[in-house]
């Protein structure tokens, strides 16, 4: 290197905080300009600049300088250009350059092989990786620490690499066997060596081996587990929900000063959340001195995974206030919170944020948006997002099929399922749940049977409890009660649970089959004696048949067992605030206005031909009280509040925790004609879209 170049490098390094050659692009170009201006500069100066350009991934600059070198270029120049090609995923050019280098009899140096091994990994070409390994052995470079670490990393990512026989490894050895063999043969190991092996074991599900290696590393004396080591093994305890061992690692991190490390902190947050210890996750989050996007995302995901949806959304808002740019995975974590809370307006705001940040082409986020819009009652927007996904995976297809099923668009759901098959996407367990649900909600019995029978025959998917439940529901809704009873009684490989028998019990109520209901109740209570819903259903069946004594007997039995009926509740979101109503509830501050609005609506409805159906009141009381009870059902209170609180034409969306009764279903159809609005009600089984006096369910629910 010339003296003038050394002087320039020293000058540049004085401006570089860490005093290394990790210079900026501007500084590298400054050095290159100096070399060009200096007459008689050595070629080694150009090779140094080439190395800098390669480290900065400046491909065009690297190529220009490489091509200006006299032939043949030295090993360092070749290693620089090969590294640059690999960094730009020009993997075939990396190997063609290596072949050119060999053909010119230029000996490869220790810097060439890590780039080539990385390229073979990216190509998923395990035979090529074995050949490179054999080449390092022949050249006597396999014991080099830098190369050995690269070999370990490559084999760790090739879990099935042992299918090919080569010079090394032996036939039948897996990628992990190769990792251990290379590691054992290394004369010198550093922390990177240990961490690569530990991470390889952990990522391939070999948790016992990973933990054994951590213990062995701890006994080594010179080297101790660092933050990367701990980050690799904490997911093991999360996977196995072993919070006690996770706490041991947490203690080690605290004793060794790693607890403030952002990677350790994020791993601890994730581990505690997956072990259902959200409060511990929160403490791990709060003590972090610096919180990056990963740690914010970990706490958001942890809250959502543990059902703390409001909390998760709160952290997302705080992250934005802290000016931390969300990652794509941040949205994938927080969007399901909107879906669970059915917070449509907030979901729309998130969608706008996603578009502004340029994440709208991310298929994972798009799938979450499809699911969110469907669960929040806006199936049109769900379909709009789905239609604009370029690469539709199984998650996206399943979300839109299930969405259409829940919104009563059964034929669309079936058509989409067929389109998915034509698109070459193989249906999964959940996709069959979705299409069977669609068939159930539309009475498509023959189609439902066809899909159920095709699961195992055509796709090798054994039907699970959810599929049996969907078929039982399909038969029950269609009035084929005895067939449904036999179907549940003869389920293959799965024992019927109380929830499956409850489906048939509900069908017995809908079709007024008291005798079969009693048989079903016996079956149900034999497997789930504490099923409160079963007692309520049977009591309602007796009440509908005016067998008041039998109904009273069941309710007394419920009280003795300490079972309480879940009260009917409805929710409506108005102005980003959720309002809750219970049947007959007078606690809402606008109750008087709500009640007055209901009275006006009832008068207009009766003029239109509405006749109240007091048979839906399953209490032995007089007719006037029955009318009052129906008049104050929770969904009617919520709808009336929506009408008086929003502008004309606004769609009203209500959620109810139990099935909408037949009289309310009829009443809401009349209300849509009177107020000229669309009303969406989501009950515990589906969405009902009321418009112009009709419902999307076609009165089949």
Same domain, 604 and 619: yes
Report the b/e string of 8-24 with b at 16+ CB within 10 A: bbeebeeeeeeeeeebe
Helix (H/G/I), strand (E/B), else coil: 575: coil
> Does residue 686 sit within a domain?
yes
> Does residue 648 sit within a domain?
yes
CA distance 577 to 338: 13
- Are the C-beta atoms of 444 and 414 separated by less than 8 Å? yes
In the sheet with 569-574, reading across from the earlier edge strand, the strands are 577-582, 569-574, 652-656, 679-682, 687-691, 694-695
Same domain, 589 and 474: no
> Does residue 521 sit within a domain?
yes
- The structure tokens listed for 604 are 């207009």
Same domain, 573 and 668: yes
Structure-token match 């072949």, residue found: 99
Same domain, 618 and 561: no
Domain end residue (candidates: 540, 565, 590): 565
Q: What is the pTM of this model?
A: 0.72
Question: Cα–Cα distances in Å, from 277 out to 266, 271, 581?
Answer: 14, 9, 32
Question: How high is the pLDDT of residue 202?
Answer: 80
- The structure tokens listed for 438 are 């669609």
Same domain, 539 and 606: no
Same domain, 657 and 628: yes
- The structure tokens listed for 682 are 């989501």
> Does residue 368 sit within a domain?
no
- Are the C-beta atoms of 214 and 234 separated by less than 8 Å? no
Which residues, 6+ apart, have CB-to-CB distance to 343 below 8 Å?
313, 337, 376, 573, 578
- Are the C-beta atoms of 79 and 115 separated by less than 8 Å? yes
Number of domains observed in the structure of the chain: 2
Same domain, 584 and 559: no
> Does residue 432 sit within a domain?
no
> Does residue 188 sit within a domain?
no
> Between vectors from CA 97 to CA 96 and to CA 102, what angle results, nearest 5°?
95
C-alpha 619 chain-centroid distance: 45
CA distance 22 to 19: 8
Same domain, 608 and 539: no
Give the β-pairing of 679-682 and 652-656. Answer: parallel
Which regions of 144-274 does DSSP assign to beta strands (E)?
none
Domain of residue 560, residue span: 464-565
| HEC string for 38-91 | CCCCCHHHHHHHHHHHHHCCCHHHHHHHHHCCCCCCCHHHHHHHHHHHHHCCCH
Which residues, 6+ apart, have CB-to-CB distance to 646 below 8 Å?
574, 652
Query: Exposed, middle or buried, 583 (CB in 10 Å: 0-12/13-18/19+)?
Result: middle
Same domain, 507 and 600: no
Half-sphere exposure (CA, 13 Å, Cβ side) for 354? Answer: 26
> Does residue 580 sit within a domain?
yes
- Are the C-beta atoms of 320 and 289 separated by less than 8 Å? no
Same domain, 477 and 579: no
Question: How high is the pLDDT of residue 132?
Answer: 92
Domain end residue (candidates: 565, 595, 626): 565
- Give the CATH number, domain containing residue 560: 1.25.40.10
Q: Which of 18, 17, 19 is nearest to 9 (CA)?
A: 19
- Are the C-beta atoms of 252 and 236 separated by less than 8 Å? no
Question: How high is the pLDDT of residue 161?
Answer: 39
Give the residue ranges of DSSP H helices in 104-190: 112-122, 126-138, 145-157, 175-185
CA distance 433 to 423: 19
**What letter would DSSP give residue 661?**
P
DSSP H/E element including 562: none
Same domain, 591 and 534: no
Question: How high is the pLDDT of residue 164?
Answer: 32
Domain end residue (candidates: 565, 585, 610): 565
**pLDDT (tens digit, 9 = 90+) per residue, 15-51?**
443 334 456 777 777 667 766 666 544 566 778 888 8
C-alpha 628 chain-centroid distance: 45
> Does residue 73 sit within a domain?
no
Instruction: Give Dmax over CA atoms of the chain in angstroms.
Output: 110
- Are the C-beta atoms of 356 and 320 separated by less than 8 Å? no
Same domain, 608 and 660: yes
CA distance 595 to 580: 15
Averages of pLDDT over runs of 10 residues in the chain (701 residues) are: 52 42 66 63 70 86 88 91 93 94 92 93 88 91 89 78 38 65 87 87 79 80 80 80 84 83 89 93 92 93 93 93 91 90 86 92 93 93 95 94 93 96 95 96 94 96 96 96 97 92 94 96 93 90 90 89 84 88 89 94 94 68 68 92 95 92 93 96 91 90 75
């Amino acid at each position: 290197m010339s003296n003038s170049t050394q002087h320039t490098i020293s000058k540049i390094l004085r401006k570089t905080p860490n005093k290394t050659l990790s210079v900026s692009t501007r500084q590298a170009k400054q050095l290159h300009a100096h070399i060009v201006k200096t007459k008689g500069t050595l070629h080694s100066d150009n090779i140094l600049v080439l190395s800098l350009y390669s480290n900065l991934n400046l491909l065009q600059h690297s190529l220009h300088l490489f091509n200006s070198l006299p032939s043949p270029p030295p090993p360092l120049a070749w290693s620089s250009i090969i590294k640059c090609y690999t960094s730009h995923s020009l993997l075939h050019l990396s190997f063609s350059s290596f072949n050119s280098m060999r053909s010119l009899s230029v000996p490869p140096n220790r810097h060439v092989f890590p780039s080539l091994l990385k390229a073979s990994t990216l190509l998923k070409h395990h035979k090529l990786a074995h050949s490179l390994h054999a080449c390092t052995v022949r050249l006597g470079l396999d014991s080099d620490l830098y190369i050995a670490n690269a070999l370990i990393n490559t084999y760790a990512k090739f879990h099935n690499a042992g299918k090919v026989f080569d010079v090394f490894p032996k036939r039948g050895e897996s990628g992990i066997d190769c990792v251990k063999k290379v590691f054992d043969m290394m004369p010198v190991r550093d922390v990177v060596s240990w961490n690569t092996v530990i991470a390889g074991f952990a990522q391939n599900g070999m948790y016992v081996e990973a933990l054994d290696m951590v213990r062995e590393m701890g006994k080594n004396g010179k080297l101790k587990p660092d933050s990367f080591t701990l980050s690799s093994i904490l997911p093991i305890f999360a996977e196995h929900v072993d919070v006690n061992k996770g706490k041991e690692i947490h203690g080690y991190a605290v004793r060794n000063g790693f607890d403030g490390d952002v990677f350790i902190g994020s791993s601890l947050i994730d581990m505690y959340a997956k072990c259902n210890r959200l409060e511990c996750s929160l403490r791990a989050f709060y003590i972090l001195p610096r919180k990056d996007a990963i740690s914010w995302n970990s706490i958001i995901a942890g809250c959502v995974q543990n059902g703390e949806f409001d909390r998760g959304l709160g952290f997302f808002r705080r992250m934005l206030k802290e000016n931390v740019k969300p990652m794509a995975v941040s949205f994938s974590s927080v969007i399901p919170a909107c879906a669970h809370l059915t917070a449509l307006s907030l979901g729309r705001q998130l969608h706008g944020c996603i578009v502004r940040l340029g994440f709208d082409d991310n298929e994972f986020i798009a799938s979450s948006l499809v699911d969110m819009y469907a669960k929040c009652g806006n199936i049109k927007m769900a379909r709009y997002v789905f239609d604009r996904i370029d690469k539709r995976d199984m998650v996206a297809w399943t979300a839109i099929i299930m969405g259409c099923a829940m919104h009563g668009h059964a034929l669309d759901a079936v058509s989409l399922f067929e389109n998915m098959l034509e698109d070459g996407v193989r249906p999964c367990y959940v996709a069959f749940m979705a299409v069977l649900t669609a068939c159930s909600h539309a009475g498509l019995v023959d189609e439902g049977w066809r899909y159920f029978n095709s699961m195992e025959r055509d796709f090798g998917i054994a039907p699970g409890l959810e599929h049996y439940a969907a078929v039982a529901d399909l038969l029950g809704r269609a009035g084929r009660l005895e067939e449904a009873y036999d179907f549940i009684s003869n389920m293959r490989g799965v024992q019927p649970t109380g929830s499956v028998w409850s489906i048939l019990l509900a069908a017995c109520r809908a079709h007024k089959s008291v005798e079969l209901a009693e048989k079903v109740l016996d079956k149900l209570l034999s497997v789930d004696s504490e099923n409160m819903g079963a007692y309520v259903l049977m009591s309602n069946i007796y009440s509908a048949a005016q067998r008041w004594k039998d109904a009273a007997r069941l309710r007394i039995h419920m009280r003795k067992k300490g079972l309480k009926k879940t009260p009917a509740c409805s929710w409506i979101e108005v102005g980003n605030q959720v309002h809750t109503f219970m049947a007959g509830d007078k606690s809402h501050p606008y109750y008087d206005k709500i009640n007055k609005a209901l009275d006006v609506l009832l008068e207009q409805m009766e003029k239109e031909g509405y006749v109240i159906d007091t048979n839906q009141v399953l209490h032995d009381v007089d007719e006037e009280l029955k009318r009052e009870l129906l008049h104050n059902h929770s969904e009617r209170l919520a709808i009336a509040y929506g009408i008086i609180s929003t502008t004309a034409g606004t769609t009203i969306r209500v959620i109810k925790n139990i099935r909408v009764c037949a009289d309310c279903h009829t009443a809401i159809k009349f209300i849509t004609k009177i107020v000229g609005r669309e009303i969406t009600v989501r009950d515990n089984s589906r969405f009902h879209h009321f418009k112009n006096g009709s419902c999307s369910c076609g009165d089949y629910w």
